[in-house]
Amino acid sequence: MKRILVLGAGGQIGSELVPYLREIYGASNVVATDVKQCDALSAAGPFEIIDALDADGYAAVVDKYKIDAIYNLVALLSATGEKNPQLAMRINMGALQNSLEIAREKGCSLFTPSSIGAFGGEFPRDNTPQDTVMQPNTIYGVCKVAGELLSNYYHTRFGVDTRSVRFPGIISNVTLPGGGTTDYAVEIYYEAVRTGRFTCPISHDVYMDMMYMPDALRAAVELMEADPSKLKHRNSFNIASMSFTPEIIAEAVRRQVPSFTMDYDVEPVKDAIARSWPNKLDDSCAREEWGWKPQWDLDSMTRDMLAAVRRKMDK
């Protein structure tokens, strides 16, 4: 059985990835770690405090639990990154560098998510290919591209089993995302339930790829379990399930909550970031090389999100 460490487990993805992994591999085989205490995660299995920038402390936990697979989820997101690029570079690159080195020294496999934020510059916005120009103009994107290249380098140079997907904006209902450009697509559901109205920070016609959390979790684990001999790419695979504009998601919410209204107060930094990203990724390489297939679409996700948020608010 694999022994897995999740770095940055208290965030939006980790708080759901840890229970998902514990279901598959057994609670005692999945060590959740974060820079601060997370009661929900520590109540259900092993938990350790790790500062991802403290290489010795990180390595000691990997030794203690005889870890052989790491999911490195530590990152400041795109909008927060622009507020403090130096901090974003230090954290995002520092966590990656320590993860790569520990994976090399201790023979661990390593998953580090990339993002639609890795794209930028002049590239095809529609059906964005797996391999194309990647010249992002956010520090988040620059770190993601550097991360993809470094992860491939560690694979070819040192034989480290590094794998990664380019996550779209992830929509979820356990832990709120913080500081991302795609966060509006989560907030809209909370506001639809809470107040029946939402003020959107992104222009009405800007398309971005999005994905419901259950598909995102399955993608990460399916890639980590994929037969390595079938992988022509490693870092990172385009994956996609849905692409929409604010108008289109508002319409989907309105199909469930007819009185829902939305207006706009466009935030220029977020809007510019959103416009620099793909409209819709081509994920055919992931489909061909490891059988990726999404299960959720906008309407099924909207029904599920609204029900989950209502349950949360009733508590």
- Could you tell me which stretch among 110-118, 129-137, 195-203, 229-237 binds ligand AKB (CB under 6 A)? 110-118
Nearer to ligand AKB, 3 or 163 (CB): 163
CA–CA separation, 49 and 148 (whole Å): 26
- Our CA angle for 282, 286, 290, nearest 5°, is 160
Give the residue among 159, 139, 136 at the shortest CA–CA distance from 234: 159
User: Given candidates 4, 6, 30, 116, which one binds ligand AKB under the rule CB under 6 A?
Assistant: 116
Residues 127-186 binding ligand AKB (CB under 6 A) are 140, 167, 169, 177, 180-182
In the DSSP assignment, the letter for residue 31 is E
In one-letter notation, the amino acid at residue 56 is D
Nearer to ligand AKB, 164 or 181 (CB): 181
Residue recorded with tokens 């934020």: 117
Taking CB atoms, the residue at the shortest distance from ligand AKB is 180
In one-letter notation, the amino acid at residue 66 is K
CA–CA separation, 152 and 298 (whole Å): 33
Q: Are 132 and 166 in contact (CB under 8 A)?
A: no
Residue 78 in the binding site for ligand AKB (CB under 6 A): yes
Q: Are 114 and 170 in contact (CB under 8 A)?
A: no
Q: Is 140 among the residues known to form the active site?
A: yes
User: Given candidates 77, 139, 202, 240, which one binds ligand AKB under the rule CB under 6 A?
Assistant: 77
Nearer to ligand AKB, 98 or 115 (CB): 115
Of 58, 71, 140, 184, which one is the catalytic site residue? 140
Q: Minimum distance from CB of 12 to ligand AKB (Å)?
A: 8
Q: How far is CA 112 from CA 51, 186, 214, 220, 243, in A?
A: 17, 22, 18, 9, 23
Residue 276 in the binding site for ligand AKB (CB under 6 A): no
Nearer to ligand AKB, 11 or 19 (CB): 11
Tokens of 303: 């029904």
User: Given candidates 117, 120, 147, 246, which one binds ligand AKB under the rule CB under 6 A?
Assistant: 117
Active-site positions? 140
Residues near ligand AKB (CB under 6 A): 77-78, 115-117, 140, 167, 169, 177, 180-182
